[in-house]
Amino acid sequence: MPISTAQAPARGEADVQLDGNVSGEVLGPGIFAGNVRYRRGVSDKVAMTGDVGLMRVDGDNHGQNPYAGTGRVGVQVHGPSNDDLHAAAFVGAGGGYAPTAGGFASVDVGGVLTGTNRYVRPIFLVDLYASEPIGARSFMATGESYGPPADTDLVKLPRTVGFQGLFGFDLGPRDRSVMLGLAFASLHTYANDVQEAKTSTFFGLGGGFRFGAI
C-alpha cells in the first residue's frame, strides 16, 4: 500500500516513514503488512527512496509459514503543481520472498498529488505495477475466511499486472506527521501450470508516522 506524500526532502535532507496496513479481497483472507520507508533528496526536485517490509497472511494457513519479506528502491521527481497542490512522479523496482510460496521481482510507476496546507494535506495517488515469480512453489490456500466453509486450493505465485488508487491525508506539521490512507486495487494474474487466469479486487486501509523535513 504505497501511502506517501508528493513533497519529498530537498537536497541533502531525509525523512523516515513507519506504516502499517491491512488489505484483502471481500470475504477473503486478510494481509497484514508493515513497512519502513527512507527518502533522501539528491536535488531540490529529485529524491531516492528505499523500502523494507514484512507481510503476514491471516486465516487458515494449513500449517504453512504465513510471512513474506519485501524490498524496493525508487526515484521520486517532485515540484509544485499550483498554490494548492504539490505533484510527483515515481518509479521503482523491488521484490519479495516467502518461505512457503517462493520469490518475485516487481516494477512500478505512478504519480501523486498532495495538498499544501500547513496541517491538513490530502493525498491522491495512482500506481501501476507488474510482478514476475522467481522460484515459485505450489502451496495450499483457502479462498474465503468468513461465511460457509471455504474451498481449499493448490495455488502458485503467478505473473501479475495491476493498478492501485489511494486517497488519504498527511496530518500535522511537515516535519512529523500522521498519515492515513484508503486504497483500491485491481490486479490480473496470468495462468500457470497450477491455476487459471483471474482478475481480483482488493481494498486496503493503512496509516503511519513520518519524521523529517519536506
Per-residue pLDDT 10s for the chain (214 aa) are 779 999 999 999 999 999 999 998 877 778 999 999 999 999 999 999 999 999 999 877 788 999 999 999 999 999 998 889 999 999 999 999 999 999 999 999 999 999 999 999 999 999 999 999 999 999 988 765 444 445 668 889 999 999 999 999 999 998 999 999 999 999 999 999 999 999 999 999 999 999 998 8
Confidence (pTM): 0.90
1 is a domain residue: no
CA distance 127 to 185: 9
Instruction: Output the domain CATH number for residue 76.
Output: 2.40.128
Show the domain range for 176: 14-211
Instruction: Please state the domain count of the chain.
Output: 1
7 is a domain residue: no
CA distance 155 to 161: 17
CA angle 97, 131, 202 (to 5 degrees): 90
